[in-house]
Amino acid sequence: MQTKLDQQLYKAYLEKLKREKRFVLIWQLILLISFFGIWEVASRFYWIDPLLFSSPSSITTLLISRFSEGTILTHMQATLLETILGFIIGTVLGIIFASVLWASTRFSKIMDPYIVILNAMPKVALGPILIVALGPGYISIIAMGAIISVIITTLVVYSAFKEVDPNYEKVLKSFGATRWQCFKEAIFPATMPVMISTLKVNVGLSWVGVIVGEFLVSQKGLGYLIVYGFQVFDFTLVMASLILIAIFAAIMYKVVEKLEGWLMKHTIDGQ
């Protein structure tokens, strides 16, 4: 009797959760459909200039034809590869720099003003210099993707290193641990959550770096397509590239989020 009522209440609770979820999903779909619907209608009736703002139908036609020709695939490939590499290099280098700073307090004191300047400086402004130094190719673009996230990663991870509870080090030192052993056993693993959360930030930053890099120089990539479309006044191409970027950036973000969940689970509490 009692249990039956409990079961009923539980079922009602689950039902409520499900309803809520459905409600949210429906509204998300309504927003999506009405956005593209209104865009399409506005374009057809010349409420907005179709030459400038294109329309979902012409973007779809363009994408279908480009995909079937296969021409857009190389562009997508280039951008994705550059972004992923920029992201990885930026994050890894940032963590390495942070470790070097931690290794020598004196070195970090010496470097302090330079890091402040590098951090405050808008990294994309370095674009032309990178291109001159590394050549007008994908290496410069990867460097742009990396440089935009490396300084902030260094700062965030370094300050996280310093915030690790000193008592962990005390425990290790009482066993006679060296500084390196303290780093390996306590400082680095204790900072894992911070490092993992920088991943999510960095993936977004790397997109910025790569797209700007492609704006400046390149014969390939989605950023290149945007600039090219702009120059030849083909805004359908610009919009199509934007949509692809949005989709890929979202996918990458989601993948990193999943990775973050996995890493958190397997490195932090280890459950």
Partner 1 sequence: MSFLTLSNVSHHYFTKTGFTKALSNISFSIAEGEFISILGPSGCGKSTILSIIAGIMKQTKGEVLLHNKPMDRSKTQIGYMLQQDYLFPWKTIIENVLIGPNIQATATKETKEKATSLLHEVGLSNIADAYPASLSGGMRQRVALVRTLITNPKILLLDEPFSALDYQTKLKLEDLVFQLLQTYHKTALLVTHDIGEAIAMSDRILVMDANPGVIAKVFDVPVELRNEMPFMVRRHPKYQLIFDKVWQELNKHEGAMSKS
Residue 186 as a binder of partner 1 (CB under 8 A): the answer is yes
- CA pair distance 210, 223, nearest whole angstrom: 8
Question: Could you tell me the smallest distance in angstroms from the CB atom of residue 192 to partner 1?
Answer: 7
Residue 187 as a binder of partner 1 (CB under 8 A): the answer is no
Residue 171 as a binder of partner 1 (CB under 8 A): the answer is yes
Question: Could you tell me the smallest distance in angstroms from the CB atom of residue 113 to partner 1?
Answer: 20
Residue 194 as a binder of partner 1 (CB under 8 A): the answer is no
Indicate the residue among 186 and 244 with the shorter CB distance to partner 1.
186
Hey, what are 168's tokens?
């962990």
- CA pair distance 271, 257, nearest whole angstrom: 19
- CA pair distance 204, 198, nearest whole angstrom: 10
Question: Could you tell me the smallest distance in angstroms from the CB atom of residue 193 to partner 1?
Answer: 10
Could you tell me which residues come within 8 angstroms of residue 148 by beta carbon, excluding any fewer than 6 positions away?
A: 86, 90, 123, 124, 205, 206, 208, 209
Hey, what are 152's tokens?
């902030």
Q: Is 162 in contact with 109 (CB distance < 8 Å)?
A: no
- 1 SS3 class: coil
Q: Is 90 in contact with 145 (CB distance < 8 Å)?
A: yes
Question: Could you tell me the smallest distance in angstroms from the CB atom of residue 183 to partner 1?
Answer: 12
Residue 150 as a binder of partner 1 (CB under 8 A): the answer is no
Indicate the residue among 82 and 169 with the shorter CB distance to partner 1.
169
Residue 177 as a binder of partner 1 (CB under 8 A): the answer is yes
The region of 189-197, 203-211, 242-250, 252-260 touching partner 1 under the rule CB under 8 A is 189-197
Angle, CA 181 vertex, CA 164 and CA 156 arms, to 5°: 35
Binding-site member from 2, 3, 68, 174 for partner 1 (CB under 8 A) = 174
- CA pair distance 204, 200, nearest whole angstrom: 7
Residues near partner 1 (CB under 8 A), total: 22
Binding-site member from 1, 114, 125, 269 for partner 1 (CB under 8 A) = 269
Angle, CA 29 vertex, CA 25 and CA 35 arms, to 5°: 145
- The residue with tokens 């989709």 is 247
Residue 2 as a binder of partner 1 (CB under 8 A): the answer is no
Question: Could you tell me the smallest distance in angstroms from the CB atom of residue 259 to partner 1?
Answer: 17
Indicate the residue among 151 and 172 with the shorter CB distance to partner 1.
172
- The residue with tokens 């900072």 is 191
What is the binding site for partner 1 (CB under 8 A)? 165, 167-168, 170-177, 181, 185-186, 189-190, 192, 267-271
